[in-house]
Amino acid sequence: MMPVAGGNAAPFHIPARYMLTSILCLVGWAILLPWMLPKLVSAPLSYPVIAWVHLLTIGCIGSMILGASIQLVPVALQTPFPAPRVAEWSWVVWMLGIILFEIGFSREILPLLGPGATLLGTVLVGYAIAVTAMFIAAPHRDAVAWHLLAAAWLAIIGFVLGWLLALTNVNGVLGGRLLPILAAHIVCMIVGWIGMTLLGVGYKLIGMFTLAERHLDQQRALASGFFVTTGTLLILLAIVASWPRGWVTGGAVMITWGVIIAFIEVERMYRKRMRKAIDIHMPFAIASLVAMLIAVSAFVIVSTESTPLSQPLTITAVWIALIGCFLVAIQGFFHKISTFLIWLHTYAPFAGKQPVPQLDSMYDRRLAYAGLISWLFGTVTIAAALMEWLPLWWGWSIGIWLGTGLFVVNVVRIGRHWFAPMLSQPAGTRC
């Protein structure tokens, strides 16, 4: 099994900053959830809702992708991370961009949107260049490598569209094209960047955690990424060029087929895994893939509508993709990745010389599963409320609150091991 860290990866404190930012943004987003739900239904394109949504997408999910990529992509591509000092400073630029963007939307100080978007885009461009450089230098380019490369550049396309949207809030540069470009931006960032990154990283991590890497069919995995990428680009072209709606539906069908292939491949890897025990990440990954299938299926239906952004199913599909799929996967993989990286930093020098903690003792599995159940309860009930199957009640947010709280408890349990050398007894008595 290839380790999650090594000589190719950047120093852990660099991605750790992004990961901490991600968790703090998640907490802030979750706290605001009960107050934002009514506005999400009544005024989904209002500035407070846009600020709240971007706190999740850019602040939480985007930060986690960047942090995890800095650590995992060099390992996956077996290539040293280029310019780690630049990556170290990129976090400062990213944070400034988030702050300007959030203040600009939440306080309706629109002139801040352009500079904020530019700062965020600068980091994304650097990220895409770094991934491309590692891809070119990689000794072997498998399906994971192609997924990560496609995701990086789809993020750039999504950023350009987002930057235009930020400018149009100030000077109306897009005119009557605002809603179509917004739809293209949402598809590009959610499906193209986040979705493709999750699939690529998922193939790698699931194979590593379960010792099933050799059971990944590279051709089918490549086909999955091809369908998702091509479907995304087809939708972008259809929207930008004002093609007939059937082209958008065709792109949505391609994306759905790509996700189905990915689901089949992951199921195959789990079935043939050498490590038969139920790994901590597995329930999270399975729930995430099911949510992804539901979201893309809903997307196909939405794509046939003449005014898709006004449909309750659109908001519900985005909710399921972001909350039910991406955030569930992030929580599951975080328990494994952060634990291993901190164990390497703190305890690896003492392994074999004295007792050190086991990896699975650094978090509480029962808390993780309880958090997952609570999170899924909140996700499903709020999705039903968005579809008007249940009343839009603030109390459905309790599931998300409890899930977030239990996840944070485990994050603290894991993170405290980073400081174990300072807090523990002398080396001869530490266990």
Rg (CA), the chain: 21
Closest by alpha carbon to 390, among 312, 311, 326, 308?
312
The pLDDT value given to residue 6: 53
Confirm if 36 and 246 have CB atoms less than 8 A apart. Answer: no
Given 3-state DSSP classes, what are the helix, strand and coil percentages for the chain, each rounded to the nearest 5? 80, 0, 20
Q: What DSSP designation does 311 have? A: -
pLDDT category at 431 given cuts 50, 70, 90 is very low
Whole-angstrom distance, CA of residue 77 vs CA of residue 195: 19
| Inter-axis angle of helices 143-171 and 196-210, nearest 10 | 150
Confirm if 190 and 302 have CB atoms less than 8 A apart. Answer: no
Residue 354's SS3 state is coil
Q: What DSSP designation does 305 have? A: S
User: Could you read off the pLDDT of 145-177 as tens digits, one per residue?
Assistant: 999 999 999 999 999 999 999 888 777 778 778
Give the mean pLDDT of 25-50: 95
pLDDT category at 425 given cuts 50, 70, 90 is very low
User: Could you read off the pLDDT of 291-350 as tens digits, one per residue?
Assistant: 999 999 999 999 998 777 778 999 999 999 999 999 999 999 999 999 988 888 888 888
Give the mean pLDDT of 173-188: 88
428 has pLDDT over 50: no
Whole-angstrom distance, CA of residue 164 vs CA of residue 49: 19
Closest by alpha carbon to 292, among 396, 398, 379, 408?
379
pLDDT category at 8 given cuts 50, 70, 90 is low
Give the mean pLDDT of 218-225: 97
Whole-angstrom distance, CA of residue 431 vs CA of residue 427: 9
Confirm if 411 and 24 have CB atoms less than 8 A apart. Answer: no
Domains and CATH numbers, the chain: 1-141 (1.20.120)
Closest by alpha carbon to 81, among 9, 135, 152?
9
Residue owning tokens 């590692």? 134
Residue 171: which residues within 8 A CB-CB, separation 6 or more? none
User: Could you read off the pLDDT of 346-388 as tens digits, one per residue?
Assistant: 888 888 788 888 889 999 999 999 999 999 999 999 999 999 9
Residue 298: which residues within 8 A CB-CB, separation 6 or more? 313, 316, 317, 320
290 has pLDDT over 50: yes
Query: Which pair of tokens denotes residue 417?
Result: 């091991």
Residue 419: which residues within 8 A CB-CB, separation 6 or more? none
Confirm if 319 and 386 have CB atoms less than 8 A apart. Answer: yes
